[in-house]
Amino acid sequence: MTPRKRQPVNRRTGPARARGFTLIELLVVIAIIGILIGLVAVGARGVSRAASTTRTTSMLATINQAIAQFKGDLGFEPPIISRMVPSAANTATPAGGIRTPELEAAISGNNGDALAAYRRVRFNSQFSLPVYLMGMGSVSGRPATKGTITFPPNTIAVQESAAGYRTAAMDDGVPGPGIRNPGPLRAWKKPGTSPNTFVHSPDLSGRSYGPYLSPDQMSDLIQLVQVVPDEMRPAINAANGGPNVDPTSSVWMYRFIEPSGEPIRYYRQWPTRDPMSTPPNQPSIARIPIELRDGDAVRAELVGTNGAGAPLASDKLVMTAPYMLLAPNADKLSNNLGASASDPFETDLDALFEACMPFRSVTDPKFNVGVLSANDSLVKRLQEFNAKAVRLGPQ
């Protein structure tokens, strides 16, 4: 028997070996993964931005309801606090405290000073709403506690005695949260015994109003800041021509903030007519603070499609609303440089607003398209703000 011939083993017919990726294929895969990650990140930012806007709008709507209740009770919206003046040393009835445009006009006897007061603070206040809606703040200008809120919400003295608490709590006429009617000057003041001296004198009788927002409800959205820093007292004292400011006192006020730390701004009484128009006092957006206006309307002026600067449909709210709430809806911590009720432009956003449309440095503030459009970086910052900001008026 002839033996079978063994066939040679073909070592190449076994299972094929896995072929590795080429460099080009690896780069393509990495690029695709990078694109997918970028798309996911953009989508996540969009979802986060939408959620942030929803939260901010809800917060402003809550404040809006409180403003409506305040007006229903007192017949006017919460006033603007135009400045804060420390009280004089050793006075039982200090002539310092909060100033409103109505009060400033009454002190000077010139109604034009009310408009000047509104313009000086850009028609807004960061400190008004906690005072009038909650009864929080050192409205008489006396020394105030700082740090965490450990005393009754409108307590401004730190004595632990019952008398100390009672004196502090009567700052606006009501112990703890709530207020009494602030009077025609809107500042719990009445004329003093000497000319142009208005003393802090809240009415301690009659109805108590509010609080329209509870401290617990706003606990995460309220911030205590020093509105009259030590170094500002001599200048404020000299500007107001009053007695020496108590060197041992500090004035602290509350303001509403959004999660980024940016303050919520409350605007009132901005001009909607131009006295220099032909004929005079025609509806105009030229003198409205630019931060209140719709971003698309401002862009239309910058690119020249609304060269006449006429009010557009998107400007309807700012042309008709008696007040507005403005939240930057920021997504990062603000560059907070301090706070002063006499000079409230203390954040980077305030500096942006003033650069885009100045009120303090000009005698006739008016939106100048040419000045803004000539600065590309300023336009970019304004557009970034407009893309995020939430504005809300009466509902």
Provide the pLDDT confidence category of residue 337 given band limits of 50, 70 and 90.
Answer: low
pLDDT tens string 8-33: 555 555 555 556 668 787 888 888 88
Given this model, what pLDDT does residue 46 score?
54
d(CA 347, CA 327): 13
Virtual torsion, Cα 87, 90, 91, 92, nearest 10 deg:
120
| pLDDT of 322 strictly over 90 | yes
pLDDT at residue 289 greater than cutoff 70: yes
Write the pLDDT tens digit of every residue in 133-156.
998 877 876 555 544 444 444 444
Give the pLDDT of residue 388: 92
**Predicted local distance difference test score (pLDDT) of residue 272:** 92
H/E segment holding residue 314: none
Q: How far apart are CA 288 and CA 222, in angstroms?
A: 28
pLDDT at 324 over 90: yes
CB contact set of 71 (below 8 Å; sequence gap of 6+)? 77
Global pTM reads 0.80
Does pLDDT of 166 surpass 60?
no
Q: What are phi and psi of 246, to 5 degrees?
A: -60, 115
CA dist 151 and 168 (Å) reads 10
pLDDT interval class at 233 (50, 70, 90): low
Flag whether pLDDT at 240 surpasses 70.
Answer: no
At 62 the pLDDT is 94
Is residue 329 scored above 50 in pLDDT?
yes
CA angle (366 as vertex; 363, 371 as ends), nearest 5: 105
What is the end-to-end Cα distance of the chain in Å, rounded? Answer: 109
The answer to whether residue 242 scores a pLDDT higher than 60 is no
Mean pLDDT on 338-354:
73
In the predicted model, what is the mean pLDDT of residues 226-231?
67
List the chain domain ranges. 79-256, 269-392
Give the model's pLDDT for residue 158: 37
- In angstroms and rounded to an integer, the radius of gyration of the C-alpha atoms of the chain is 30
Give the least confident one: 38-47, 79-88, 222-231: 38-47
Tens of pLDDT along 169-221? 567 888 778 899 999 999 998 887 776 678 888 887 889 998 999 877 887 88
**Predicted local confidence at residue 254, as pLDDT:** 85
pLDDT digits (tens, 9 = 90+) for 109-133: 888 899 999 998 999 999 999 999 9
pLDDT, mean of residues 149-168: 44
Whether 241 shows a pLDDT value over 90: the answer reads: no
Query: Is the per-residue pLDDT at 318 higher than 60?
Result: yes
Which pLDDT belongs to residue 234? 64
389: confidence class by pLDDT, cuts 50, 70, 90: very high
248 C-beta neighbours (distance < 10 Å), count: 7
